[in-house]
């Protein structure tokens, strides 16, 4: 009998998952990590907080964008054919049960488990009198002076409350008038005050929530009035910066102003209240914030859960992940001369956090800063971190040492704008030439270039990476970087920086693949070539590890390659709009997502290429914004031992059967479990074990996923 075929129409809903709903599936996987009892209890609490902070960003950017479409009447149909109104309805329908699930995990599992470990969050009402008296003194001396209660009436309009701030609404009764009158006031909890106020007890860790202390002493805030009740609430605002940088004469000032507006003046997109908040008060808040009933979320738990990350500071190692020391690479242990000599000999790859960021990237930049032979350093900075950055310090010292330093600072790196403004000003004060942004684009590529005078010539050394120059995230994100002195790479780097800092339409790249120039067309070419070269003798094979797959054109090309029989394995951490496993369309395509202790962030691309395998690394995911609205970089890998290491990394990730989920044709994910005869295997734990073992496990002991690599 002929094989049954399925007709897949060109309806978008048949071909693509909705981007926003796919993101909710990703955040569900974060929540599942909070449910996983294999994690220490404080780490489970961390995942609950991450779920909420992720959701905050989702509302501030994605939901806000959909609402702006509706208000402007410039409606765009989503990748699966949904209107903005349909998307909002679908998002709420999926989100409500997730919020309930998060509440159940926190209140019925995580907090009781913390109590059993001696970490207690006490209701104020259940404290003994001595503790209440002590907290009364704390309130009067340390809290009351910084509180500003705000009346709500015809003479006092609704205040401009900070984005994501925790607030209290007070219901008051004024008996001093001839007729008893109910009044309402609001109070924003100052961010500078600790949310978790410690209690002194003989053993364990004991806290009271700040809002409960304020609620218990409300009569001090409103003398002469009766406080009938008080209710916490929280506002989320549109936070996507709108900067017409072609009109902004001073981009630094404009970004700073937009960040200020983000905190105070942008439109509200969500109101969170406690479950028992009376309807009249919810309506008052909703109408004052110009929100609809579907923008209101009721919670039976404390609000502002990202604050709970503060509990990670508790010094209880047994309640957290086991600390680890990253691998120290021998090539970076010596003098600057020896470091540069090692890079000249062969390309060096690092896999963070398993390979030390400090002992590789920071050592490289420090060596460049101190080496008298180094003439110049150029670097792109998308996210450099918080209050202290060894990368920034190395650049400042290099400038002090008389080297020509150029730092390309992306001021519009979402939610890192304030940090980047601070770094930019500090670098300029030290004599670093700071460049802000490319007109109409975000610069997302990660590259550092060191120009060194050697004998009779000048040589260029590069660090190219999938992740940011951020020490903090290098310990919690998995990323890959490569050090190289390849001449053709250096030539491309020179032209790339010139295009960032000056006027250039350079397009004759030797090795670099650059967005918004030729990155999308190159990716499509590589996928199309794989389909054309596919034969039974030399089967096509594509394996990709990245964070998001959204671009319609690339997805359609993957479908075509799959229909020709190419084996396609996709490790996509977050959003994936491709529908795998559909008969006659994507039967040869499998999609998995890995979540665990570290946030998977590296981007690796493999193509079998008719028996001559090719590997690429990139700063970009396969998304329209990366192809069109960002400066991105993809580059090939030629060093055979680096290719072998990348193969090893992909093999380990694909073998994961404990932290890996498989995307199903209906858009849901199924967690992989060990099959009969298999042992539990976690890729991230395997890489941690390699550090202890002192090296990477030989490939002969791992099941190969691709043919042996040959040297180019």
Q: Tell me which of 247 and 401 has the higher pLDDT.
A: 401
- Is residue 345 helix, strand or coil? helix
Q: Which residues have CB under 8 Å from 522's CB, separation 6+?
A: 513, 634
Burial grade of 439 (CB within 10 A; 0-12, 13-18, 19 or more): exposed
* 321 band by pLDDT with thresholds 50, 70 and 90: very high
CA distance 607 to 288: 55
CA distance 396 to 214: 45
- Residue 241 above 80 pLDDT? no
Radius of gyration of the chain (CA): 28
* 458 band by pLDDT with thresholds 50, 70 and 90: very high
pLDDT at 120 (0 to 100)? 96
Query: Residue 483: in which H helix or E strand, if any?
Result: strand 477-484
**pLDDT tens-digit readout, 480-531:** 999 999 999 999 999 999 988 777 677 889 999 999 989 999 999 999 999 9
- Residue 2 above 80 pLDDT? no
CA distance 283 to 169: 12
CA distance 542 to 610: 11
Cα maximum dimension of the chain: 95
CA distance 24 to 30: 10
Q: b/e map of 318-357 (b: 16 or more CB within 10 Å)?
A: ebbeeeeebbebebbeeebeebbebbeeebbbbbbbbbbb
- Residue 232 above 50 pLDDT? yes
* 419 band by pLDDT with thresholds 50, 70 and 90: low
pLDDT at 603 (0 to 100)? 97
Tokens describing residue 236: 């989320």
pLDDT at 706 (0 to 100)? 57
pLDDT at 5 (0 to 100)? 41
pLDDT at 13 (0 to 100)? 65
**pLDDT tens-digit readout, 128-159:** 999 999 999 999 999 999 999 988 876 677 88
With beta carbons less than 8 A apart as the criterion, state whether 60 and 240 touch: yes
Q: Mind spelling out the 3-state secondary structure of 393-413?
A: HHHHHHHHCCCEEEEEECCCC
- If you average pLDDT over residues 337-346, what whole number do you get? 94
pLDDT at 418 (0 to 100)? 61
Query: Residue 494: in which H helix or E strand, if any?
Result: helix 487-501
pLDDT at 11 (0 to 100)? 52
With beta carbons less than 8 A apart as the criterion, state whether 210 and 143 touch: yes
- Residue 162 above 60 pLDDT? yes
Cβ neighbours, 10 Å, residue 50: 19
Query: Cα 427 vs. chain centroid, distance in angstroms?
Result: 26
- If you average pLDDT over residues 685-701, what whole number do you get? 73
Q: Which residues have CB under 8 Å from 263's CB, separation 6+?
A: 162, 163
Tell me what the pLDDT averaged over the chain comes to.
Answer: 88
Whether 122 sits among the annotated catalytic residues: the reply is: no
**φ, ψ for residue 433, nearest 5 deg:** -80, 110
**pLDDT tens-digit readout, 250-288:** 444 544 445 444 444 478 999 999 999 999 999 999 999
* 699 band by pLDDT with thresholds 50, 70 and 90: very low
With beta carbons less than 8 A apart as the criterion, state whether 605 and 635 touch: no
Burial grade of 524 (CB within 10 A; 0-12, 13-18, 19 or more): middle
Tokens describing residue 385: 């971190």
- Residue 249 above 70 pLDDT? no
With beta carbons less than 8 A apart as the criterion, state whether 174 and 228 touch: no
**pLDDT tens-digit readout, 51-106:** 999 999 999 889 988 888 888 777 778 778 888 899 999 999 999 999 999 999 99
Catalytic residue among 39, 206, 217, 444: 444
Domains identified in the chain and CATH numbers? 8-117 (1.20.58.310), 121-251+262-314 (3.30.1840.10), 330-501 (3.30.870.10), 514-701 (3.30.870.10)
**pLDDT tens-digit readout, 566-600:** 999 999 999 999 999 998 899 999 999 999 999 99
Tokens describing residue 194: 């600790």
Question: Among residues 278, 299, 292, which one has the least CA distance to residue 184?
Answer: 278
**pLDDT tens-digit readout, 12-46:** 668 899 999 999 999 999 999 999 999 999 999 99
């Amino acid at each position: 009998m002929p094989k049954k075929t399925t007709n897949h129409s060109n309806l978008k809903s048949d071909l693509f998952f909705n981007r926003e709903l796919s993101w909710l599936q990703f955040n569900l996987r974060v929540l599942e990590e909070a449910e996983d009892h294999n994690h220490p209890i404080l780490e489970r609490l961390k995942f609950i907080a991450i779920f909420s902070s992720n959701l905050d960003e989702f509302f501030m950017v994605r939901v806000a964008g959909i609402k702006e479409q509706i208000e402007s009447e410039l409606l765009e149909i989503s990748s699966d054919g949904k209107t903005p109104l349909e998307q909002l309805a679908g998002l709420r329908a999926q989100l409500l049960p997730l919020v309930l699930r998060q509440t159940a995990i926190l209140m019925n599992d995580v907090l009781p488990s913390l109590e059993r470990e001696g970490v207690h969050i006490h209701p104020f009402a259940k404290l003994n009198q001595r503790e209440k008296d002590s907290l009364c003194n704390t309130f009067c001396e340390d809290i009351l002076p910084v509180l500003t209660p705000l009346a709500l009436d015809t003479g006092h309009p609704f205040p401009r409350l900070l984005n994501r701030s925790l607030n209290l609404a007070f219901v008051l009764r004024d008996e001093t008038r001839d007729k008893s009158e109910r009044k309402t006031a609001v109070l924003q909890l100052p961010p500078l005050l600790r949310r978790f106020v410690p209690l002194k007890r003989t053993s364990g860790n004991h806290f009271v929530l700040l809002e409960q202390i304020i609620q218990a002493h409300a009569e001090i805030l409103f003398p002469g009035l009766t406080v009938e009740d008080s209710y916490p609430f929280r506002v989320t605002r549109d936070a996507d910066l709108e900067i017409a940088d072609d009109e902004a004469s001073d981009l630094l000032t404009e970004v700073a102003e937009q960040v200020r507006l983000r905190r105070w003046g942008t439109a509200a997109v969500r109101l969170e209240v406690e479950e028992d908040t009376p309807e009249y008060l919810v309506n008052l808040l909703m109408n004052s914030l110009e929100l609809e009933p579907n923008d209101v979320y009721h919670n039976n738990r404390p609000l502002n859960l990202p604050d709970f990350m503060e509990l990670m500071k508790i010094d209880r190692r047994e309640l957290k992940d086991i600390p680890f020391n990253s691998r120290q690479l021998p090539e970076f242990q010596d003098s600057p001369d020896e470091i540069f000599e090692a890079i000249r000999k062969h390309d060096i790859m690092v896999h963070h956090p398993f390979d030390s960021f400090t002992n590789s990237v920071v050592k490289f930049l420090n060596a460049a800063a101190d080496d008298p032979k180094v003439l110049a350093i150029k670097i792109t900075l998308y996210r450099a971190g918080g209050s202290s950055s060894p990368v920034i310090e190395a650049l400042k010292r290099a400038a002090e040492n008389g080297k020509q330093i150029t730092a390309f600072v992306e001021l519009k790196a979402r939610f890192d704008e304030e940090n980047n403004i601070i770094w930019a000003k500090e670098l300029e004060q030290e004599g670093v030439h700071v460049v802000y942004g490319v007109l109409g684009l975000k610069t997302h590529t990660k590259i550092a270039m060191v120009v060194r005078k050697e004998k009779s010539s000048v040589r260029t050394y590069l660090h190219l990476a999938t992740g940011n120059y951020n020490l903090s995230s290098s310990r919690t994100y998995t990323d890959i970087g490569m050090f190289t002195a390849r001449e053709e790479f250096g030539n491309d780097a020179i032209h790339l920086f010139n295009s960032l800092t000056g006027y250039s339409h350079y397009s004759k790249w030797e090795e670099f693949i650059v967005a918004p120039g030729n990155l999308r067309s190159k990716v499509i070419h590589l996928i199309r070539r794989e389909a054309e070269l596919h034969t039974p003798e030399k089967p096509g094979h594509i394996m990709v590890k990245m964070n998001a797959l959204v671009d319609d054109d690339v997805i359609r090309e993957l479908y075509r390659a799959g229909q020709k029989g190419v084996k396609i394995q996709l490790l996509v951490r977050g959003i994936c709009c491709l529908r795998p496993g559909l008969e006659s369309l994507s039967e040869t395509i499998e999609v998995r997502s890995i979540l665990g202790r570290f946030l998977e962030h590296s981007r690796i691309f493999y193509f079998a290429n008719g028996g001559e395998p090719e590997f690429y690394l990139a700063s970009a995911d396969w998304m329209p914004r990366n192809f069109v609205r960002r400066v991105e970089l993809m580059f090939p890998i030629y060093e055979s031992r680096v290719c072998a290491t990348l193969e090893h990394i992909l093999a380990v990730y694909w073998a994961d059967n404990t932290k890996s989920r498989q995307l199903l044709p209906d858009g849901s994910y199924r967690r992989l479990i060990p099959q009969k005869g298999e042992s539990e295997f976690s890729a991230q734990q395997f890489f941690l074990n390699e550090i202890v073992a002192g090296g990477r496990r030989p490939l002969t002991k791992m099941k190969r996923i691709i043919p042996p690599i040959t040297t180019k």
